[in-house]
Amino acid sequence: MKIFTALAVRAGLCTFKFLSAILLAIIRSVKFIFSEICGIIRLIKNIICWIFREATESYRSRLELSNRLSKEVRLAKKEGKSEYIKALLKFFYSFFCGENGVFYTAFNWILPLVSIAFLVGVIRYGSSLEYGIAVEYNGKELGIISAEADFVKAERDVQQRISYNENDKAIDLSSKLSLRIISDDDNIVSAGQLADKMLEASDEELIKAYGVYIDGQFICSVEDSKRVQKALDDRLLNYDVEGIVRDIEYVNKIELKEGIYLISSLQKEHDVIKLLTSSKEKKQVLFAKEEQTVLDIIHEYGMDLDEFNKLNPSAEKGIRTGQLLYVVKHENYLPIKYIREMETLSFIDYQTMEVETSSLNVGSRVTLVKGERGEKKSNIEITYIDGIESGRKVLESVVLKNPVVETIGIGTYSASPDNPETVYFGYPLTGSGEMGWPVDGGWVSDSFISDRNHKGLDIAAPENTEIYAAQDGIVVSAGWNSGGYGNVVMIEHENGYATVYAHMISVYAVEGQQVSKGQLIGFVGNTGNSFGNHCHFEVRHQGICLDPTLFLNTIDMKKPEETDE
């Protein structure tokens, strides 16, 4: 006992020492942090005091000087007028021009500010200057350009213009570029003007004319640009198109630029107009598309029927998909593009969906809902180039009729007699097929209205064979029946129909349950007024028993394992 007491005391002392050490460490840490914070505060205070002293030192010096000189002036006043005047002059000189005087202090403060303002002014002045690139060619300055890209453009333009040079000697286009500040007297030129000046500075024979450019490429030059421009405009105005079109224009960018050109590049306006408005025929090969007709093809390529039949003799009797055909495509030197807006009616294809359904036997595939195509009205914008469609864009679409999804039913109902072809005393059942065979196997052992005034069919099958709902419905009765049915299930269906399944060995369904066709509801037995394992199956309408064979059809029934692959 003493040993345990000693151990407890020792443990308590160790714990106390441990806690004390932790507390002491915390106190020391807080003390260290507090002392460092105090040190930082003192340092900040010293810095502030130093800044204040430095900022006010000149003021304090001037104040001390002023007090000392004022005292000297008062003493000199007692000594006489001349001494007084000397003292006053010394006072004003020392106060304004002395080492710590007003002018000296002001100079020390103002000079840095003036220097900064001067530097800012120089920078602003330099940034406000406009710089340009001076171009010197053959020892002569041609002008000032704003960017080197203008020189590259001018040089390329000159190269195109001199492509008509018939001399063997190439023209030297090397120029000297230098950066400088632009003055009011400098001549600032564009890339086109620079090209003219470079040609003028050469030794070639030149003429002032209009250059014809297509997509930036120099073609030739003409003296009268108005005649060429009028011919191009008239071609657009008189272009033969069907319907109402808009934005009719040339595909290529055509420019007539006034400038200096080589005489050798000058062409007659008539020849230039003939070139720009010319066209050529090009034979092409195509494969006939699905549902494409001869009329579609000749309309697309602007051909006549005789011309097409001459190239394709076998097409006179019609064309087939994938057939090789020859067509002639007319290509203009300057293709013309235009846009037509049209309203079209198109069909929307329907989708097909497969659903499994117990309303059909396994292996059956039936269209439950027939698919229908939808209709859509669209406003489209069609772009044509030389009368051939090159693209289209849908501006607006309105669905007039939504497509109907086609639904294909895949049968899942697997219950069928042992032998569907001989189930009914050697014959198949040929009823409507509205209801499914209710037992997984079996055969008819007793018919409706037999010599015993039988109200249904007896379907014989081994004990514990599964029994299924013949149709969708609600279980209204499930369990023991004291009227001779034994374990029985009764299901109500639509339109006043009901089915009864009697003599079960056990019931699986429960009252109030919603069941679907082919769903397990019980097992074959021999309960109630029964002589052998079987399922007594009844069909009732408004409480009246009907012959179940009117609703069963076994002709197309097959066991799952018998289904054809």
**237 close to 287: Cβ distance less than 8 angstroms:** no
CA–chain centroid gap for 121, Å, is: 52
180 backbone φψ class: left, alpha, beta (φ>0; ψ -120 to 50): beta
Beta carbons within 10 angstroms of residue 499's beta carbon:
23
What distance in Å separates the CA atoms of residue 169 and residue 171, rounded to the nearest whole number?
Answer: 7
In this prediction, residue 243 carries a pLDDT of 74
Sheet containing strand 131-137, strands side by side? 140-145, 131-137, 176-181
What distance in Å separates the CA atoms of residue 561 and residue 8, rounded to the nearest whole number?
Answer: 83
Q: Would you call 256 exposed, middle or buried from its count of C-beta atoms within 10 A (0-12, 13-18, 19+)? A: middle
Closest CA to 387 of 490, 564, 193, 242: 242
**519 close to 499: Cβ distance less than 8 angstroms:** no
Low-confidence ranges of the chain (pLDDT < 50): 168-169, 560-565
Q: Distances from the Cα of 186 to the Cαs of 130, 142, 143, in angstroms? A: 11, 10, 7
In this prediction, residue 406 carries a pLDDT of 93
In this prediction, residue 92 carries a pLDDT of 64
Model's pTM, two decimal places?
A: 0.48
Structure tokens at 331: 């290509």
Closest CA to 208 of 226, 230, 225: 225
CA–chain centroid gap for 292, Å, is: 34
Question: What is the β-pairing status of strands 466-468 and 520-524?
Answer: antiparallel
Q: Which residues pair with 489 in a beta bridge?
A: 478, 501
Q: Distances from the Cα of 281 to the Cαs of 45, 272, 284, 327, 506, in angstroms? A: 96, 20, 10, 10, 89
DSSP letter string over 72-138?
HHHHHHHH-HHHHHHHHHHHHHHHHHSTTSHHHHHHHHHHHHHHHHHHHHHHHHHHHS-EEEEEEET
What distance in Å separates the CA atoms of residue 137 and residue 246, rounded to the nearest whole number?
Answer: 48
In this prediction, residue 560 carries a pLDDT of 46
In this prediction, residue 178 carries a pLDDT of 66
Q: Which residue has the tokens 């007539």?
A: 256
What distance in Å separates the CA atoms of residue 27 and residue 325, rounded to the nearest whole number?
Answer: 101
Structure tokens at 447: 């018919």
**Residue 9 CB-half CA count within 13 A:** 6
441 backbone φψ class: left, alpha, beta (φ>0; ψ -120 to 50): left
End-to-end Cα distance, the chain: 91
- Based on DSSP, count helices (H) and strands (E) in the chain, helices before strands: 9, 25
Q: Would you call 508 exposed, middle or buried from its count of C-beta atoms within 10 A (0-12, 13-18, 19+)? A: middle
**440 close to 469: Cβ distance less than 8 angstroms:** no
In this prediction, residue 55 carries a pLDDT of 61
13-25 residue pLDDT tens: 778 777 877 888 8
In this prediction, residue 50 carries a pLDDT of 77
What single-letter DSSP state applies at residue 471?
S
CA–chain centroid gap for 41, Å, is: 59
328 backbone φψ class: left, alpha, beta (φ>0; ψ -120 to 50): beta
Q: Which residues contact 155 (CB under 8 A, 6 or more apart)?
A: 173, 175, 195, 198
257-268 residue pLDDT tens: 888 888 888 889
DSSP letter string over 516-540?
-TT-EEEEEB--SS-SSSEEEEEEE
CA–chain centroid gap for 261, Å, is: 50
H or E element in which residue 276 lies: helix 269-276
**Ramachandran angles phi, psi of 160, nearest 5°:** -65, -40
In this prediction, residue 561 carries a pLDDT of 44
Q: Distances from the Cα of 363 to the Cαs of 370, 415, 470, in angstroms? A: 20, 12, 18
**142 close to 136: Cβ distance less than 8 angstroms:** yes
What distance in Å separates the CA atoms of residue 194 and residue 469, rounded to the nearest whole number?
Answer: 97
Q: Torsion over CA of 331, 332, 338 and 340, rounded to 10 degrees?
A: -40
